[in-house]
Chain A
Amino acid sequence: MGNLITMCIAAVLINNIVLTQFLGICPFLGVSRNKESAIGMGLAVIFVIFGASILSYLLYYYVLEPMNIEYMNLISFILVIASFVQFTEMFIKKYSPVLYRSLGIYLPLITTNCVVLFVALANITSGYNFVEMMVYSLSVPTGFMLVLVIFSYIRERLAIAPVPKYFKGNPVALIVAALMAIAFSGLAGLV
């Protein structure tokens, strides 16, 4: 149990996927201009990563490994993730119009989010068991959502701040992201 808590804290705060591994930078910069979008994107990413990781894990250990075709993991996982996103969008469209209204716009973006593929592959290469895989697959996107939401709050303030002309927009956003990475690096050694 302690091991799982350590893994969770490490994935969310210490080895944050955006600030330490620089993955998922596209949505991090693209969908962080207001907090409503950031929260919607974060929730959609958590759901898709969790679901896609479970499917990828089962596919690897029950199909690819027994047939000795482990080298197929990359292409298989890409297809599984893309299919899962399509099914998720269809399901939400049909059964939850309210959720579709808030998340629908972000779902196609998740297919291009490299964090999804990273988590699916990391679960295999790290040799996690099923419970560890589920904890890791929830922790990584939670860390992604945490920094995305914090960043969106900062960017909303930056939009009305007196920033020098040549720093407006993405330059100042990248400087803020670098400062956030430095701040989060201070949490190293927490666990």
Chain B
Amino acid sequence: MIIAIFISLGLGALLAFAYYLNQKTPVPEGCENIEAACEGCKVSICSRNPSHREVE
């Protein structure tokens, strides 16, 4: 049980680390407005869906 908790925490930490590194990596030149270029599909859960921009 303790091993299972440690593995969960380890994988969670890996995800957080990957997310942090991904956010820290600079976006390539010419791709700054890649999210604005998204016209939106029906997948509203995606953070790039325009419906999220409207809320902000």
Residues of chain A at the chain B interface (Cβ within 8 Å): 26-27, 29-31, 33, 63-64, 67, 69, 71-72, 75-76, 79-80, 82-83, 86-87, 89-90, 93-94, 97, 100-101, 104-105, 108-109, 112, 170
Contact = CB atoms under 8 A, between A and B. Distances in A.
A101 B18 contact: no
A92 to B, nearest CB: 9
Contacts, number: 89
A79 B12 contact: yes
Contacts of B42: 26, 29-30, 170
A73 B22 CA distance: 25
Contacts of A33: 41
Interface size class of B (residues with CB under 8 A): 20 to 34
A83 B15 contact: yes
Nearest to B27: A93
B4 interface: yes
Interface of B is mostly: loop
Contacts of B8: 72, 75-76, 79
Contacts of A87: 18, 21-22
Interface in B1-53: 3-4, 7-8, 11-12, 14-15, 18-19, 21-22, 25-31, 34-35, 37-38, 41-43, 45-48
Given A31-B41, A109-B46, A93 B28 contact: yes
A90 B25 contact: yes
A100 B31 contact: yes
Contacts of A27: 41, 43
Contacts of A75: 8, 11
A137 B4 CA distance: 26
A33 B42 CA distance: 11
